A and B are shown apart, each in its own frame.
Chain A
């Protein structure tokens, strides 16, 4: 059971498609995060939002575009992805920016054909 909900749970898309991942947190937190989890690699931070403002962007390619319309919702818009972008994308939230602990969603398993 989690206070952070991600949809869809699985997504298969072609390299020319446009899709979006959604994250919703029901914990009243003010900070939200996107992570990429690839096999046998540590979790990689992609984006951080605090009070709906982006506060960190870790050199992520522009084919990934985040959006945070309010403190409860976070989106990751995907466009023209590459096969190496196939991974588990995890959303997390915390009370304030970089406050610990972070609470994770169950992720979206993304496969790029």
Chain B
């Protein structure tokens, strides 16, 4: 089946550092979504991207919809302890929503 390649799988960073993660696919998507999942909870939408080349920010988070429509990245600036969790990308096309395997982020004080 279709897959999204999300990297890195995990990151261990110090508080205050910037974080970057990305998703790539061999297929084109119309929408890219980024979710965060805290332990014991469901995914929560962080950013939605609807147009190739779009760059969108949500506080310290910035995400971009790749110009080829086959990739997207998420940046977190000046990380804080509550950024800990698993970040998922998802690509949407017509009647398909494909999720990446997630990036597990650990932030140390």
Query: When chains A and B are docked, how far (Å) is the Cα of A98 from the Cα of B36?
Result: 20
Report the minimal beta-carbon distance from A19 to chain B, rounded to whole angstroms: 20
Q: Does B7 contact A (CB under 8 A)?
A: no
Using a Cβ–Cβ cut-off of 8 Å, how many residues does chain A contribute to the interface with B?
21
Chain A neighbourhood of B33, CB < 8 A: 100-101
Q: Are B3 and A45 in contact (CB under 8 A)?
A: no
Q: Given the complex, which residues of A lie within 8 Å of B97, measured CB to CB? A: 45, 98, 100, 102
Q: Which of B4, B41, B94 has the most CB of A within 10 A?
A: B41
Number of interface residues of B (CB under 8 A): 23
Chain A contacts of B42 at CB under 8 A?
A: 2, 4, 6, 90, 92, 104-107
Decide if B109 is an interface residue (CB 8 Å cutoff).
no
What residues of chain B lie closer than 8 Å to A6, measured between beta carbons? 42
Considering only residues 35-60 of chain B, those with a C-beta below 8 Å from chain A are 35, 40-45, 48
Kindly list chain B residues whose C-beta atoms are within 8 Å of the C-beta of A90. Answer: 42-43
Confirm or deny: B98 has a beta carbon within 8 angstroms of a beta carbon on chain A. yes
Across the interface, name the chain A residue whose C-beta is closest to B46: A101
Binds B, one of A36-44, A60-68, A76-84: A36-44
Given contacts A42-B98, A42-B101, contact A101 B40 (CB under 8 A): no
Interface of A is mostly: loop
With contact pairs A56-B95, A98-B97, A101-B33 given, residues A42 and B43 touching in the complex (Cβ less than 8 Å): no
What chain B residues lie within 8 Å of A4 (beta carbons)? Answer: 42
Query: Is A103 part of the contact surface with B, judged by Cβ < 8 Å?
Result: yes
Contact yes or no, B92 A42, CB < 8 A? no
- Report chain A residues within 8 Å CB of B102: 42
The answer on a CB contact under 8 Å between A98 and B3 is no
B99 in contact (CB, < 8 A) = yes
A42-B100, A42-B101, A45-B97 known; A104-B92 Cβ under 8 A = no
**Interface, chain B (partner A; CB < 8 A):** 3-4, 31, 33, 35, 40-45, 48, 88, 90, 92, 94-95, 97-102
